[in-house]
């Protein structure tokens, strides 16, 4: 049986925040959510999250998840003490293959493949995830014998000068046989500089009991990078984003500047996709072949079909865009927008819960909400659908080949017939018949006797 224990009790004083540290985000998702996502891919039998500071907020953030058990560490007396709080909730322990994997809520990006290698390295004993650092200051050092076998871990504050010269460090992540771990937790001592119970002391206990201790290493250094400050959070964010950009670049996507690229979800791209600077992708986004995304666009939960060009500062959310469409600059597609092939949505045009048919155009300063717009429709500048009466939303239907003049208000529910033309400035409150010109304007008059008011004095 596989248990996963995630230590998430820390205060995070250096974050200078009221938010529990593990709820701070990397790539649009809390650090603890990242850890849980990777942990679940291992299909564990039990996940125990050890909380402490801000326990209520942490539990509330993950309420309703049946696979989580929460244990409270109060007060916080070290990592060994934290795992002791989780111990009553661990499953199994009698079988040799029962294992407990210990992860950290503020080390969010350890990848599942690395964790699988760690579990495989255990080979019936204890396995540590270690890293070799140029500057290991602050980390526990891996002490080995002359044959290279792991003897113990010594914390930086307790290390001698010779031990501090060691470059191989402990990441804190380990996999241990559950039954033996229970025994070792009961034998931990706080006889050290911090008067805390160190989980790392189980390594020395394992060696003393003749249990072999092995090591595995992450694929990338950023996987084991922890977050204790806003600066470290920002540094890890950029490391993660650079890794995502590298993956896309190697798959053939053109990213004009990988240092100015943000992915906060999943992005899949066809061939010959171009992404300009400052773009943000959130949720599930798919870009078809030849899609061009201009600078500073935000795209969330969207499908953009092949050949579409998205100009600068366009925002797209929960929308679908057909092939060879043209969007922006400064366009906004809100949830439920469906843009047809070869359609144009221009500057300062907002579309919500509406279909814009193939070849239709709304090029300037328009709002289209709760509408069905057919093919080859022209929507003039300043046009709006008046879809909300203060209580209910109503639908506007514009059939194929209609021409909507500038500064038109369509007061829903209303229908514009096929091939109809609405004159500029029209307020449409009744259906417009097909192939006819419909307009509503007050008679233009000139008042000859009128004079502009003048300031007195």
Task: Report the CATH number at residue 377.
Answer: 2.160.10.10
At 96, the pLDDT band (50, 70, 90 cuts) reads confident
In 3D, which of 149, 173, 297, 280 has the Cα closest to residue 223?
A: 173
Judge whether residue 344 has pLDDT over 90: yes
Q: Is residue 411 part of a domain?
A: yes
Residues 203 and 272 in one domain: no
**Both 303 and 171 in a single domain?**
no
Asked if the structure places residue 353 within a domain, the reply is yes
- The whole-number pLDDT of residue 98 equals 96
Has residue 246 been placed in a domain?
no
- The answer as to whether 245 is a domain residue is no
- Percent of the chain's residues with pLDDT above 90: 91
- Across 129-138, 364-373, 441-450, the highest mean pLDDT is recorded for 364-373
Q: Is the pLDDT of residue 329 over 90?
A: yes
pLDDT value of residue 441: 86
In this structure, the answer to whether residues 95 and 175 fall within a common structural domain is yes
Average predicted confidence (pLDDT) for the chain: 96
Q: Out of 147-151, 301-305, 322-326, pick the least confident.
A: 147-151
Q: Clarify whether residues 47 and 194 are in a common domain.
A: yes
Confidence (pLDDT) at 66: 85
In the annotation, is 364 catalytic?
yes
Domain endpoint, select from 224, 243, 266: 224
List of residues 6+ apart from 451 with CB closer than 8 A: none
185 φ, ψ to 5°? Answer: -60, -35
Identify which of 410, 359, 352 has the alpha carbon closest to the alpha carbon of residue 382: 410
Which among 89, 296, 364, 394 is annotated as catalytic? 364
Same structural domain for residues 61 and 107? Answer: yes
Q: What is residue 155's predicted lDDT score, i.e. its pLDDT?
A: 86
**Enclosing domain of residue 73:** 2-224
CA dist., res. 302 & res. 321, Å (int): 8
Torsion 147-153-158-164 (CA) sign = positive
Is pLDDT above 90 for 455?
no
| Average pLDDT of the segment spanning 299-313 | 98
User: Region 337-341: what's the mean pLDDT?
Assistant: 98
Q: Is the pLDDT of residue 245 over 90?
A: yes
Instruction: Specify if 317 maps to a domain.
Output: yes
The answer to whether residue 418 is domain-embedded is yes
Percent of the chain past pLDDT 70, that is, above it, reads 100
Query: Is residue 345 located within the same domain as residue 382?
Result: yes
Indicate whether 302 belongs to any domain.
yes
Whether residues 271 and 388 share a domain: the answer is: yes
Q: Provide mean pLDDT across the span 127-135.
A: 94
pLDDT value of position 164: 95
If asked whether residues 207 and 257 sit together in one domain, one would say no
115 domain-assigned: yes
pLDDT digits (tens, 9 = 90+) for 199-228: 989 999 999 999 999 999 999 999 999 999
Name which of 351, 355, 353, 354 is nearest 327 in CA terms.
Answer: 351
Residue 330 pLDDT exceeds 80? yes
Which CATH number fits the domain that encloses residue 65?
3.90.550.10
Domains: count for the chain = 2
Say yes or no: 283 and 375 in one domain: yes
Among the candidates 173, 208, 224, a domain finishes at 224
- Per-residue pLDDT band for 193 (boundaries 50, 70, 90) equals confident
Question: Has residue 127 got a pLDDT over 90?
Answer: yes
Residue 80 — very low, low, confident or very high, per pLDDT cuts 50/70/90? Answer: very high
108: nearest Cα among 177, 190, 26: 26
Q: Are residues 269 and 213 in the same domain?
A: no
**Could you report the per-residue pLDDT of 259-299, keeping only the tens digit for each?**
999 999 999 999 999 999 999 999 999 999 999 999 999 99
Shared domain check, 184 and 96: yes
What average pLDDT does range 296-325 have in this prediction? 98
- 210 and 277 in a common domain: no
Instruction: Tell me whether residue 454 is exposed, middle or buried, using C-beta atoms within 10 angstroms of its C-beta: 0 to 12, 13 to 18, 19 or more.
Output: exposed
């Amino acid at each position: 049986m596989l248990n996963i224990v995630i230590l998430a009790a820390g205060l995070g004083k250096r974050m200078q925040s009221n938010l529990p540290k593990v709820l701070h985000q990397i790539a649009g998702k809390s650090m603890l959510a990242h850890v849980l996502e990777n942990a679940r891919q291992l299909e564990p039998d039990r996940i125990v999250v050890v909380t402490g500071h801000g326990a209520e907020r942490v539990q509330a953030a993950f309420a309703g998840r049946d696979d989580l058990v929460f244990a409270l560490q109060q007060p916080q007396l070290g990592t060994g003490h934290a795992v002791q709080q989780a111990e009553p909730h661990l499953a199994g322990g009698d079988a040799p293959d029962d294992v407990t994997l210990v992860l950290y809520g503020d080390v969010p990006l350890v990848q599942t493949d690395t964790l699988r290698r760690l579990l495989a390295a255990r080979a019936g004993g204890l396995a540590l995830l270690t890293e070799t650092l140029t500057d290991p200051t602050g980390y526990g050092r891996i002490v080995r014998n002359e044959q290279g076998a792991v003897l113990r871990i010594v914390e930086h504050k307790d290390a001698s000068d010779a031990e501090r010269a060691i470059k191989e460090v402990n990441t804190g992540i380990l996999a241990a046989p559950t039954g033996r771990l229970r025994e070792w937790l009961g034998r931990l001592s706080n006889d050290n500089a911090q008067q805390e119970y160190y989980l790392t002391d189980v390594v020395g206990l394992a060696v003393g009991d003749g249990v072999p201790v092995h090591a595995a290493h992450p694929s990338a250094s950023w996987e084991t990078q922890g977050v204790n400050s806003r600066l470290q959070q920002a540094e890890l964010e950029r490391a993660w984003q650079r890794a995502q950009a590298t993956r896309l670049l190697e798959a053939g996507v053109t990213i004009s500047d990988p240092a100015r690229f943000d992915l906060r979800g999943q992005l899949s791209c066809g061939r010959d996709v171009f992404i300009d600077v400052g773009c943000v992708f959130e949720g599930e986004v798919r870009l078809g072949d030849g899609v061009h995304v201009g600078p500073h666009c935000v795209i969330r939960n969207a499908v953009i079909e092949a050949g579409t060009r998205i100009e600068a500062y366009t925002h797209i959310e929960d929308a679908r865009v057909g092939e060879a469409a043209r969007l922006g600059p400064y366009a906004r597609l809100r949830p439920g927008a469906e843009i047809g092939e070869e359609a144009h949505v221009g500057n300062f045009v907002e579309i919500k819960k509406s279909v814009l048919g193939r070849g239709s155009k709304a090029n300037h300063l328009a709002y289209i909400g709760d509408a069905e717009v057919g093919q080859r429709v022209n929507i003039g500048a300043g046009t709006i659908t008046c879809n909300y009466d203060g209580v209910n939303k109503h639908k506007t239907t514009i059939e194929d080949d209609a021409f909507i003049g500038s500064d038109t208000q369509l007061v829903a529910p209303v229908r514009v017939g096929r091939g109809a033309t609405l004159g500029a400035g029209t307020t449409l409150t009744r259906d417009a018949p097909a192939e006819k010109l419909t307009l509503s304007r007050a008679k233009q008059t000139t008042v000859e006797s009128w004079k502009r008011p003048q300031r007195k004095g």
